[in-house]
Amino acid sequence: MRIDSEVKGTATDHSVNASLIKGQIRHEGVPISCEVVVLNRNTKAVLSRTMSDEDGKFIVHGSHFYPNIVMAVDPHNDHNIAAQDNVK
């Protein structure tokens, strides 16, 4: 499984503490829908969670001031969790 993500400006909730993280989840090169979770890298607190759409695309809120960990859980149970660390 693979996560492609990037941070996009401040969040639509008008919080100066949050940023939007968008990306796509793929399973063996094919986009899939699955759970995506964002953690604060320092505290490991869950900041947000969502499901990627049928094209594997997702948008979630992350911390604007601290690094994030973005994780995707493989619904097929073929692979370990896919994670991207230090997302800013």
Q: pLDDT by residue (tens digit) across 9-40?
A: 544 444 556 789 999 999 989 999 999 999 99
CB 67 within 8 A of CB 87: yes
Grouping H, G, I as helix, E, B as strand and the rest as coil, residue 5 is: strand
- CB atoms under 10 Å from CB of 2, counted, come to 15
Number of domains in the chain: 1
Q: Are strands 35-40 and 46-51 parallel, antiparallel or unpaired?
A: antiparallel
Which residues form the domain of 10?
2-87
pLDDT digits (tens, 9 = 90+) for 31-88: 999 999 999 999 999 999 999 999 999 999 999 888 999 999 888 888 877 888 878 7
Whichever domain contains 48, its CATH number is 2.60.40.1930
Indicate yes or no: pTM above 0.85.
no
